Amino acid sequence: DTGVSQDPRHKITKRGQNVTFRCDPISEHNRLYWYRQTLGQGPEFLTYFQNEAQLEKSRLLSDRFSAERPKGSFSTLEIQRTEQGDSAMYLCASSPSRDSWVGFFGQGTRLTVV
């Protein structure tokens, strides 16, 4: 078990471009979460999946953001028409669904929009 894996670790993109991040959770973890973290702040919840079903989306997740988990395993987070305000660390976490919340976070993808 290698933990939660995120790819890429760093991404620099020009404003207006689309970017996609990938998260591979711990195997057999049914729940997968996406968070966003800006400098000096705690992580903010974006969305989460139970298997392939997207159960909740934060109002932070504008229509430029979309997340998928097509086969209930890995997940992707896409940002369309990136803006400078999208610059942040994007964190993925997974957990086994039955237990009281013990979350395992990846190391994140740092996005810089220039």
Partner 1 sequence: DAKTTQPNSMESNEEEPVHLPCNHSTISGTDYIHWYRQLPSQGPEYVIHGLTSNVNNRMASLAIAEDRKSSTLILHRATLRDAAVYYCILGAGNEKLTFGTGTRLTIIP
The binding site for partner 1 (CB under 8 A) comprises 4, 31, 33, 35, 40-45, 48, 56, 91, 93, 95, 97-108
Residue 10 CB, shortest distance to partner 1, in Å, is 11
User: For residue 8, is the peptide bond before it cis, meaning its omega torsion is within 30 degrees of 0?
Assistant: yes
CA distances from 54 to 29, 80, 111 (A): 15, 19, 23
| Minimum CB distance to partner 1 smaller for 82 or for 90 | 90
| Minimum CB distance to partner 1 smaller for 82 or for 94 | 94
Cα–Cα nearest to 90, from 1, 9, 3: 9
Residue 19 CB, shortest distance to partner 1, in Å, is 19
49 contacts 32 by C-beta, under 8 angstroms: yes
| Minimum CB distance to partner 1 smaller for 27 or for 100 | 100
> Residue type at 50?
Q
Tokens 């395993």, residue located: 73
Residue 16 CB, shortest distance to partner 1, in Å, is 28
